[in-house]
Chain A
Amino acid sequence: MKDGIIDVTDVVKTYGSGTRATRALDGLSLRIAAGEFVSLMGPSGSGKSTLLNLIAGLDVPDEGRVVLNGHDLGALADHALADLRLRTIGFVFQAFNLIPALTVEENVAWPLEFSGYPRAEVRRRTAEALARVGVVGRERRHPAELSGGEQQRVAIARAVATGPAILLADEPTGNLDSHTGTTILDLLRALNESENVTIVMVTHNVFAATYGDRTLELQDGRIVRDVRTPPKLHPLTAADSETR
């Protein structure tokens, strides 16, 4: 068994206090291996997004620990956490979160610039990331001039441009129609398979969840089901086999 690059152990997270306290995560443990594509499902308030935030180091657990690539996130200072996110983790949001003032190209390039890459390297990686997600010829446009699917592609390009080992996606298809959502899921799957990027994706959609190797179902802050998806059920794989 290969080492899990995401290791969550006995994590407890409570919001509020006293009678108003809500336990978002209740002693949850989880191990995700490198290159896995894991879907997180569950009803609202089950703890999906909280778990994603803890994995990203955006929030701190009350109890338990989260280890990424051997780094205990609880032991890292803020700047080290930020550095880890910049270089190791890519984040894809439901609402895209592109910066309206910047062009498509600039939206992808800025994390690279902050990572300290030389200008030429920034240009090369930006072009490569945009090509990989299929946004070519629109580099000088602003986000407001793109469709929702195109905006999410740009967001994915931004997330993968730094070459992260882990991609965290919080309902990446939540704001898209089903056809556009499928193309985004295909893109994530392709990234997972071609680049061996570990993907953790929060979704409400059962169809979207089947893109993962595993689907974890959360309820009341605990994992109530851990289902492995047979390879032939992966929509992309299935489509490939049909083509073949």
Chain B
Amino acid sequence: MRLSLAMAYRHVRAGFGRMALSVLAVALGVALVVAIQLMNAAVMQSFLDTVDAVSGKASLSISAGEGLPFEEGLVQRVAAVPGVKLAVPLVSSVAFPDDGSGELLTVLGVDLGQDAAVRLYHTGGSASEVIDDLVVFLSQPDSIVLGREFAQRRHLDLGSTIDLVTPGGVKRFTIRGLLDPQGLARTLGGRLVVMDLFAAERAFLGNEEVNQIDVVVADGASVEAVKTAVAQTLPPGLHVEEPALRKEGVRKTIGGFQTMLTAFGYLAVLAAFVICYSRLGAIFEARTWEVGLLRSVGLRQSVVFAELLKESLLLGAAGTVVGVPLGAFIGRHGLPFVATTTALNYRLPVPVAASVLSVATVALGAAVGLGAALLAAAIPALRLARKQPVAALTLRGRDTPGEGRARGWLFGPALLAVSAVLVVWQQAARLTALGNVTTALVAVAACAFAGPTVRSGGRLLSAVWERVFGASGQFAIAHLRQQARRATLTVATLGIGLGVVLMFGMLSWSFERTMIAQVAQRLRADLVVTSAFVSGGYVGAPISEAFMEELRAVPGVAVAAGEQQRDVRYGDDSVVLDAYDAVCFADTRVCQWIIEGESLADGARLVAAGEAVFVSSSFAHRYDTHPGDLIRLASPSGPVSFRVAGSTTGQPAPALVMSRDLYRKLWNDAPVSWVHVGVASGVDPAAVRRAIEERLGRKYRLRVRSGAELMEYFRSQVHQGFGFLYIMEVITFLLVLIAIGDTLATGVIDRTRELGMMRAVGLPRSRIFAMVMLEGTAIAVLGIALATGAGLTLGLFWVEVQFPAILGWNLNLHFPVAFSLTAAALTLALCLVGSLLPSLRAARLSIPAALRNE
């Protein structure tokens, strides 16, 4: 006899109510994986599109580093290289509408007089197709072409003027052309300003300075050969690369962060898997007698096993059908969140991204949903199929004493030991991907420890519950221990779910505390002046250096030190160059550098003089750098070496701290992003702040903050940077709610007759209600205990190993007490909410009906 899928379907349909929670759990796991996949793909594609669109149809691109200017005259030399069909100079910068919206506009300066140059970027063809009168446009330096979508949002049209904040202050421009949403204009959501090259040079760089040359290779010429030839004509510091390689760089940079998000998605799947395992185990056990009968009649173990798996397939399919659209919904609405987080972490402008549900993503969702359901069913199905028919008929699925004991005590430590080996291996081989395997192993180890937690914790709680809650408490724990396997699975779900939340809480708190503590150590200025606009991540838009002199002239300003930051390549990694005016290394009214360990004698003076650099402690740990070592970097002025004066805790990222005079000379980058201001002795900083705002605020669109306000700003940026934590918390708490409700509801259903008997014997409804609630509370307490262990282990690993491996930041370990207590309290509250319905159901049982229940 062979059973068909129809029988599995009938079982699923008959028990759909009991399976609904599992379907929901699978759906949530699938949804999170699909959503993260969609968001990651959309954000990545958006950044790559931007690279593509800015490079246009060029085969090669020449620059001195992100945004750094160089002489326009170089274009002629490049154009003369054999195999170069076209060399197009470009000014690329950013500006902000002066309306307080903070929207970032990408500015491109192109030689609009050359149709060939325009066609490189604009798919529509020549400039005259978007500009009414090209002669007027070119003759007026205030002419711009604006993205039509952006213009429409602000009710701007041809001839309208718009005030833009540039590094040189606020400037008024006239719209003399509108770009339809194609190419880069579409990628940027219309936030694009195109100017003539000549006007852009003057507004954003300097006379006859550009910051990019795009090269089109002649038909039939080898790109590689032309690239080599072009590279030989370039002065030191300038480099030529294929846009495809730049895209690879972007992919590599953002990839680490996206892997972290993906890892979380799969941890949610693990939690959903545990819920399914628990639920399917209970459903299968309820049919033990039936399976015993089938086996007695002569069905083979393999046939029974296959039949049970079919049910899980239907469950997985239902979860996938619900999960994929849910994931698409979460992905669509969570996308701006993740885009902002990514941009903040990598100091990039927030991209305009749109999620598209592809066949591959649907296939991934289906694989995850069906795979999780099948795997979750495999063990209980195998256990049931292998049960001796007589035992199945007599035991009716009840656990036999001693079943499954002590395995957790073996598996858990074994998995932790393997994890420890992986950590050592990761540290030695610098293999970041191993960290995700370690994370998964620790999560599985947490599952393995769930059994011992229930058994040992149950014994401990037994005495406490009996003492505090009397007989109801004693019964609650007795039942919990009787149904140890089911309780174990719920405790495991809590352990993983809440553990991961605690892990990220610990990571975000350690990150925040480390950054605040280190920046607070260094920051001594009374006031910090930045642009009111953000160019990328948390970094303010650059302000012209000329502003510094005006600032120093403000009454009450005793000292003003400029700071500029830039990401540079160091080996295969990206590190921060943090440049300060020399005064910052000598005057403790603006900066104070805490040196870790040994340093060169008179190190601060050497750095101020441009004879050495400090490295951040993150840099020193990551690259094993010591005072006196030489660090080699590529700069626009060619390869340069810096002597290390010492390592400082004043900069949390992997960074080189140097004199801004040296930086400006080597990188040809004069603007500043921060200015640290010390006020004269006896002068009220608030008065100086007002004076700066009144004198320079309007002209440069500045924001003046006190030290405390700057710390608060950084804190808010960290919170935003870990914004995805909230999505995770919501999903986790939903899973917790499902798990606890499911376990207790199953317990009540299984005990219907027992509860009916207790009511018959004389227990009031309130006692039955209390018993189930107390059981839920006990599970919550055990789950929180396991989650604390799992969260601390995972948190420790991520703070000390994985996060530094991904982003290079060395963090100090901080435990988020308030966050953890809140999460634990929320979990407890959710467990009580989850217990409520089963408790009410138990209390409201009809006694005669319950006593008739089999």
**Which residues of A are at the interface with B, using a C-beta cutoff of 8 A?**
49, 53, 56, 58-59, 78-79, 82-87, 89, 91, 93, 95, 97, 99-102, 106, 110-111, 113-115, 158-159
Bound form: Cα–Cα A100–B765 in Å: 21
Bound form: Cα–Cα A95–B753 in Å: 10
Q: Is the CB of B763 within 8 A of A114?
A: yes
Known A59-B847, A113-B474: A101·B482 in contact at CB below 8 Å: yes
A82-B764, A86-B763, A95-B753 are known; give 19 further A-B pairs, CB within 8 A.
Answer: A49-B848, A53-B848, A78-B764, A78-B765, A79-B765, A85-B761, A85-B762, A86-B761, A86-B762, A89-B762, A93-B757, A97-B754, A97-B757, A100-B398, A102-B478, A111-B762, A113-B471, A113-B474, A114-B471
Known A59-B847, A97-B757, A101-B482: A79·B474 in contact at CB below 8 Å: no
Bound form: Cα–Cα A73–B760 in Å: 14
Q: Is the CB of B470 within 8 A of A113?
A: yes
Q: Is the CB of A158 within 8 A of B471?
A: no
Determine whether B566 belongs to the interface, using a CB cutoff of 8 Å to chain A. Answer: no
Bound form: Cα–Cα A178–B848 in Å: 27
The residue in chain A whose Cβ has the minimal distance to the Cβ of B481 is: A101
The residue in chain B whose Cβ has the minimal distance to the Cβ of A49 is: B848
Q: Mark B756-772, 1 if CB is under 8 A from A, else 0.
A: 01011111111100000
**Chain B binding surface, main DSSP class:** helix
Taking a contact as CB atoms closer than 8 A, the residue among A56, A85, A95, A110 that contacts B475 in the complex is A110
Contacts of A56 in B (CB 8 A): 760
The residue in chain B whose Cβ has the minimal distance to the Cβ of A77 is: B764
The 8 closest A-B pairs by CB, nearest first: A86-B762, A101-B482, A85-B762, A82-B764, A113-B471, A97-B757, A58-B847, A79-B764
Contacts of B762 in A (CB 8 A): 82-87, 89, 111, 114-115
CB distance from B827 to the nearest CB of A (A): 26
Contacts of B753 in A (CB 8 A): 95, 97
Contacts of A83 in B (CB 8 A): 762, 764
Determine whether B814 belongs to the interface, using a CB cutoff of 8 Å to chain A. Answer: no
Known A78-B764, A111-B761, A114-B763: A59·B848 in contact at CB below 8 Å: yes
Q: Is the CB of B766 within 8 A of A79?
A: yes
Contacts of A85 in B (CB 8 A): 760-762
Known A99-B754, A110-B471: A82·B848 in contact at CB below 8 Å: no
Bound form: Cα–Cα A82–B756 in Å: 12
Bound form: Cα–Cα A91–B762 in Å: 9
Contacts of A93 in B (CB 8 A): 757, 851
Q: List 17 A-B contacts (CB under 8 A).
A: A49-B848, A53-B847, A58-B851, A78-B764, A78-B765, A82-B764, A83-B764, A86-B761, A97-B753, A100-B482, A101-B478, A113-B471, A113-B474, A114-B471, A114-B763, A114-B767, A158-B761
Taking a contact as CB atoms closer than 8 A, the residue among A82, A97, A159 that contacts B763 in the complex is A82
Contacts of A102 in B (CB 8 A): 478
Interface residues of B in 826-854 (CB under 8 A from A): 847-848, 851
Bound form: Cα–Cα A159–B470 in Å: 21
**Which residues of B are at the interface with A, using a C-beta cutoff of 8 A?**
398, 470-471, 474-475, 478-479, 481-482, 753-754, 757, 759-767, 847-848, 851
Contacts of B479 in A (CB 8 A): 101
The residue in chain A whose Cβ has the minimal distance to the Cβ of B472 is: A114
Q: Is the CB of B760 within 8 A of A58?
A: yes
Contacts of A97 in B (CB 8 A): 753-754, 757, 851
Bound form: Cα–Cα A101–B747 in Å: 13
Bound form: Cα–Cα A93–B759 in Å: 13
Contacts of A159 in B (CB 8 A): 761
Contacts of B475 in A (CB 8 A): 110
Contacts of A82 in B (CB 8 A): 759, 762-765
CB distance from B702 to the nearest CB of A (A): 71
Bound form: Cα–Cα A62–B166 in Å: 86
Bound form: Cα–Cα A84–B763 in Å: 10
The residue in chain B whose Cβ has the minimal distance to the Cβ of A112 is: B471
CB distance from B770 to the nearest CB of A (A): 11
Bound form: Cα–Cα A97–B767 in Å: 19
Contacts of B767 in A (CB 8 A): 114
CB distance from B747 to the nearest CB of A (A): 11
Contacts of A114 in B (CB 8 A): 471, 762-763, 767
CB distance from A76 to the nearest CB of B (A): 12
CB distance from B392 to the nearest CB of A (A): 16
Bound form: Cα–Cα A189–B566 in Å: 96
Contacts of A79 in B (CB 8 A): 764-766
Bound form: Cα–Cα A86–B762 in Å: 4
Contacts of A78 in B (CB 8 A): 764-765
CB distance from A207 to the nearest CB of B (A): 25
Contacts of B761 in A (CB 8 A): 85-86, 91, 111, 158-159
The residue in chain B whose Cβ has the minimal distance to the Cβ of A56 is: B760
The residue in chain B whose Cβ has the minimal distance to the Cβ of A106 is: B478
Contacts of B474 in A (CB 8 A): 113
Contacts of B470 in A (CB 8 A): 113
The residue in chain B whose Cβ has the minimal distance to the Cβ of A84 is: B762
CB distance from B479 to the nearest CB of A (A): 6
Bound form: Cα–Cα A101–B767 in Å: 18
Contacts of B482 in A (CB 8 A): 100-101
Bound form: Cα–Cα A93–B398 in Å: 21
Bound form: Cα–Cα A159–B758 in Å: 11
Bound form: Cα–Cα A111–B471 in Å: 9
The residue in chain B whose Cβ has the minimal distance to the Cβ of A59 is: B848
Q: Is the CB of B760 within 8 A of A91?
A: yes
Bound form: Cα–Cα A97–B755 in Å: 10
Contacts of A110 in B (CB 8 A): 471, 475
Bound form: Cα–Cα A89–B759 in Å: 12
Q: Is the CB of B478 within 8 A of A58?
A: no
The residue in chain A whose Cβ has the minimal distance to the Cβ of B765 is: A78
Bound form: Cα–Cα A102–B758 in Å: 13
CB distance from B274 to the nearest CB of A (A): 23
Bound form: Cα–Cα A91–B475 in Å: 20
CB distance from B471 to the nearest CB of A (A): 4
The residue in chain B whose Cβ has the minimal distance to the Cβ of A99 is: B754
Contacts of B847 in A (CB 8 A): 53, 58-59
Bound form: Cα–Cα A158–B761 in Å: 9
Bound form: Cα–Cα A93–B853 in Å: 13
For A82, A87, A89, which residue has the most chain B Cβ atoms within 10 angstroms? A82
For A84, A86, A95, A114, which residue has the most chain B Cβ atoms within 10 angstroms? A114
Bound form: Cα–Cα A111–B765 in Å: 14
The residue in chain A whose Cβ has the minimal distance to the Cβ of B751 is: A99
Contacts of B848 in A (CB 8 A): 49, 53, 58-59
Bound form: Cα–Cα A78–B398 in Å: 33
Contacts of B757 in A (CB 8 A): 91, 93, 97
Contacts of A53 in B (CB 8 A): 847-848
The residue in chain A whose Cβ has the minimal distance to the Cβ of B483 is: A101
Contacts of B471 in A (CB 8 A): 110, 113-114
The residue in chain A whose Cβ has the minimal distance to the Cβ of B851 is: A93
CB distance from A131 to the nearest CB of B (A): 21
Contacts of A95 in B (CB 8 A): 753
Bound form: Cα–Cα A113–B771 in Å: 14
Bound form: Cα–Cα A83–B482 in Å: 27
For A58, A91, A158, which residue has the most chain B Cβ atoms within 10 angstroms? A58
Contacts of A89 in B (CB 8 A): 762
Bound form: Cα–Cα A78–B765 in Å: 8
CB distance from B810 to the nearest CB of A (A): 52
Contacts of B481 in A (CB 8 A): 101
Bound form: Cα–Cα A222–B844 in Å: 30
For B481, B759, B761, B847, which residue has the most chain A Cβ atoms within 10 angstroms? B761
CB distance from B705 to the nearest CB of A (A): 63
Bound form: Cα–Cα A93–B760 in Å: 10
CB distance from A13 to the nearest CB of B (A): 11
For B470, B474, B851, which residue has the most chain A Cβ atoms within 10 angstroms? B851
Bound form: Cα–Cα A106–B471 in Å: 11
The residue in chain B whose Cβ has the minimal distance to the Cβ of A113 is: B471
CB distance from B779 to the nearest CB of A (A): 16
Bound form: Cα–Cα A102–B482 in Å: 9
The residue in chain B whose Cβ has the minimal distance to the Cβ of A89 is: B762
